């Protein structure tokens, strides 16, 4: 049954062209605003609304939504507890966790991502939601990206065997002679990134001997918690970068929310730089500033990796890295939650290797140990 909510226009396209959304939030104000925002968008239809996790499970089974917006904090059954039952009831649904910006909720949200949620969205307080244009814009973008991605082929990890890696055309390497073993690793990610980072860091963290720099699109409260979670996977400290912090040979650094992270030379050493210059690709932190600095400081001794994410952040910085002689690895489409960022790298011809997520960690270790140099 489709909800006939006043003020919502019904999309004119075929049912298969419409992204079907279920909203779960205990606040009637939030449900109403999200219903109005999404209902005004062509190709998006609100098919169900729930005020708690128990109701959400029942409605998910009945309506089989494409995208579920799931509040973290709710009465009777909260979002984290409801998540696995919603995914069981509607296995094709992409779940977006909606969370306020607190350390506790950031921790819960990252646990939800590990348990099958596709993405998250930081939610302003209810009192300021009506004027939260950034929240509205991000919500619509995520619903569209996840709804469209859900119609494509299921992830490679759901198949018996991962697809073979493809070799993409790329810009001709400008550096002459053999490429050196990488001296630093630079990773960019967005939608689906926390899970992908966990998979990669679990493989490389305990044994990699070069510094690793990570830019994941996340707000302030979340990046500190991401570093805490990745520390468990790496089995060594993963920390938020600080401006002027000396880079350790085997350090792993995460860009803090609301700051672009770069690297720069300081005499004979290399240090981390943080700044609040304008957003790039609607993001801060953004991947492009990190990759540009990688090209400038490390040249052909940098290794870049672009993981799942919306948009094309990282593409322009990857061009600088490739022109400096560096190698770029992109996550493949089948294992990406959204193939925006890595897809833009591949389509631009910057990806030297395209790998499913379950092969990226081992590919990195092969390269940094001296194999697969071109």
Walk me through the domains of the chain, giving residue ranges and CATH numbers.
Answer: 15-149 (3.40.50.2300), 168-368 (3.40.50.180)
Q: Is the pLDDT of residue 372 over 80?
A: no
pLDDT confidence bin for 103, thresholds 50/70/90: confident
- Annotated catalytic residue, options 51, 190, 335, 336: 190
pLDDT digits (tens, 9 = 90+) for 14-45: 456 899 999 999 999 889 999 999 999 999 99
Residue reference for tokens 């790298």: 345
How would you classify residue 267: left for phi > 0, otherwise alpha for psi between -120 and 50, otherwise beta?
left
Beta strand 269-275 pairing with 260-266: antiparallel
Give me the pLDDT at residue 10, please.
41
- Annotated catalytic residue, options 71, 313, 320, 332: 313
Q: Is the pLDDT of residue 150 over 90?
A: no
User: Could you tell me if 269 and 246 are in contact, meaning their C-beta atoms sit under 8 angstroms apart?
Assistant: yes
d(CA 182, CA 213): 13
Q: ∠ at Cα 87 (84, 93), nearest 5°? A: 150
pLDDT confidence bin for 48, thresholds 50/70/90: very high
190 labelled catalytic = yes
pLDDT digits (tens, 9 = 90+) for 288-344: 999 999 999 999 999 999 999 999 999 999 999 999 999 999 999 999 999 999 999
Residue reference for tokens 């700044």: 275
Q: Torsions phi, psi of 238, nearest 5?
A: -115, 125
Name beta bridge partners: 246.
271
B/e letters for 156-195, b = 16+ CB within 10 Å, e = fewer, are beeeeebbeeeebebeebeeeeebeebbbbbbbbbbbbbb
Q: Of 130-134, 238-242, 332-336, give the lowest mean pLDDT range.
A: 130-134
d(CA 243, CA 256): 10
pLDDT digits (tens, 9 = 90+) for 165-177: 444 554 444 445 6
User: Could you tell me if 44 and 19 are in contact, meaning their C-beta atoms sit under 8 angstroms apart?
Assistant: yes
The number of residues in the chain equals 374
Q: ∠ at Cα 245 (241, 248), nearest 5°? A: 90
pLDDT digits (tens, 9 = 90+) for 241-282: 999 999 999 999 999 999 999 999 999 999 999 999 999 999
Helical pair 103-114 and 220-234, crossing angle rounded to 10 deg: 50
pLDDT digits (tens, 9 = 90+) for 336-355: 999 999 999 999 999 999 99
- Annotated catalytic residue, options 71, 99, 189, 217: 217
Q: Is the pLDDT of residue 153 over 90?
A: no
Give me the pLDDT at residue 152, please.
60
User: Could you tell me if 349 and 318 are in contact, meaning their C-beta atoms sit under 8 angstroms apart?
Assistant: no
Task: Provide the mean pLDDT of the chain.
Answer: 88
Tell me how far the alpha carbon of residue 231 is from its chain's centroid.
18
344 labelled catalytic = no
Tokens of 233: 């996977």
250 labelled catalytic = no
Q: In terms of Cα–Cα distance, which of 44, 6, 251 is closest to 140? A: 44
SS3 of the chain: the string is CCCCCCCCCCCCCCHHHCEEEEEECCCHHHHHHHHHHHHCCCCEEEEEEECCHHHHHHHHHHHCCCEEEEECCCCCCCHHHHHHHHHHHCCCCEEEEEECCCHHHHHHHHHHHHCCCCEEEECCCHHHHHHCHHHHHHHHHHHHHHHHHCCCCCCHHHCCCCCCCECCCCCCCCCCCCCCCCCEEEEEECCCHHHHHHHHHHHHCCCCCCCEEEEECCCHHHHHHHHHHHHHHHCCCEEECCCCCECCCCCEEECCCCCEEEEEEECCEEEEEEECCCCECCECCCHHHHHHHHHHHHHHHEEEEECCECCCCCHHHHHHHHHCCCEEEEECCCCCCCECHHHHHHHCCCCCEEECHHHHHHHHHHHHCCCCCC
């Amino acid at each position: 049954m489709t909800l006939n909510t006043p003020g919502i226009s019904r999309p004119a396209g075929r049912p298969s062209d419409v992204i079907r959304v279920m909203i779960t939030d205990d606040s009637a104000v939030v449900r109403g605003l999200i219903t109005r925002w999404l209902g005004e968008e062509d190709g998006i239809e609100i098919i169900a609304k729930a005020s708690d996790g128990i109701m959400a499970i029942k409605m998910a089974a009945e309506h089989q939504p494409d995208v579920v917006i799931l509040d973290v904090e709710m009465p009777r059954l909260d979002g984290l507890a409801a998540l696995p039952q919603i995914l069981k009831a509607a296995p094709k649904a992409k779940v977006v966790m909606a969370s306020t910006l607190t350390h506790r909720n950031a921790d819960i949200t990252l646990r939800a991502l590990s348990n099958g949620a596709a993405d998250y969205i930081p939610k302003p307080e209810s009192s300021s939601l009506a004027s939260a244009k950034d929240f509205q814009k991000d919500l619509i973008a995520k619903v569209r990206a996840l709804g469209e991605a859900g119609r494509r082929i299921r992830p490679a990890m759901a198949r018996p065997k991962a697809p073979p890696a493809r070799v993409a055309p790329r810009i001709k390497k400008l550096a002459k002679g053999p490429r050196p073993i990488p001296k630093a690793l630079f990773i960019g990610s967005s939608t689906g990134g926390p899970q992908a980072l966990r998979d990669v860091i679990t493989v490389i963290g305990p044994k990699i001997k070069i510094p690793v720099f990570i830019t994941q699109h996340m707000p302030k409260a979340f990046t500190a918690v991401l570093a805490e979670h990745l520390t468990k996977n790496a089995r060594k400290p993963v920390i938020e970068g600080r401006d002027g912090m000396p880079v350790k040979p085997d350090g792993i650094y995460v860009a803090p929310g609301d700051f672009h992270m770069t690297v720069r030379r300081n005499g004979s050493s290399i240090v981390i730089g943080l700044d609040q210059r304008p957003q790039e690709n609607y993001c801060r932190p953004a991947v492009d500033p990190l990759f540009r600095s990688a090209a400038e400081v490390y040249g052909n001794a940098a290794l870049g990796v672009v993981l799942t994410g919306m948009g094309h952040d990282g593409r322009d910085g990857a061009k600088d890295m490739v022109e400096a002689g560096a190698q770029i690895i992109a996550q493949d489409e089948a294992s990406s939650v959204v193939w925006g960022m890595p897809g833009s790298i591949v389509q631009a011809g910057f990806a030297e290797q395209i790998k499913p997520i379950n092969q990226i960690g081992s590919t990195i270790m092969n390269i940094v140990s001296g194999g697969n140099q071109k």
